[in-house]
Amino acid sequence: MFDHCLYFNSSALARLVEREWAAVYAPFGLTPAQGFVLRVVLATPGCLSSQVADTLGIARPTATRLLDSLSEKQLVERRQAESDGREWGVYPTRSGKALDRPIKEASAEIAKSLRTKVGPALFESAVSSMHGVRKALS
């Protein structure tokens, strides 16, 4: 009935993929969204919350809320930017840095598993196509 509906198919796929990633990040006490935000902060220490939002394609209030939750877990901390006292950079804490390698390894493993389940060509094509659709609609 909805085989050609972008909304239905993207939402259904998102739910399936969310379950897979939730299982991967659960041992770290993180949701997938928190895990991806932490990965951004680990990759770019000192980034602004607006940069996190832009990188992940999420709203700034959503990024702020996720950063707040990571701060409560003592995985990131905010520090006043040296260049502009009105801005706050986000940095990983020692506990956050300790998760860098395990999270990267877990992420690589789930990506490999999904690629195997779907098939490499379809996986790459789907990711590329979804990225293109996101760019076209934004």
Map out the domains of the chain with their CATH numbers: 6-137 (1.10.10.10)
Q: What are phi and psi of 90, to 5 degrees?
A: -110, 130
Single-letter code of the amino acid located at 71: S
Q: According to the model, what pLDDT value does residue 113 have?
A: 95
In this predicted structure, the answer to whether residue 35 has a pLDDT above a threshold of 90 is yes
Q: Identify the weakest region by mean pLDDT among 53-62, 77-86, 87-96, 100-109.
A: 77-86
35 token code pair? 């895990």
Model pLDDT, residue 17: 94
pLDDT at residue 32 greater than cutoff 80: yes
Q: Does position 84 have pLDDT exceeding 70, yes or no?
A: no
- Summarised one tens digit per residue, pLDDT across range 112-126 is 999 999 999 999 999
Q: What is the pLDDT of residues 8-24, one digit of tens each?
A: 999 999 999 999 999 99
Given pLDDT bands bounded at 50, 70 and 90, which one contains residue 85? low
* pTM exceeds 0.85, yes or no: yes
Task: Catalogue the long-range contacts made by 109-113 (C-beta closer than 8 Å, 24 or more residues apart).
Answer: 109/24, 110/20, 110/21, 110/24, 113/20
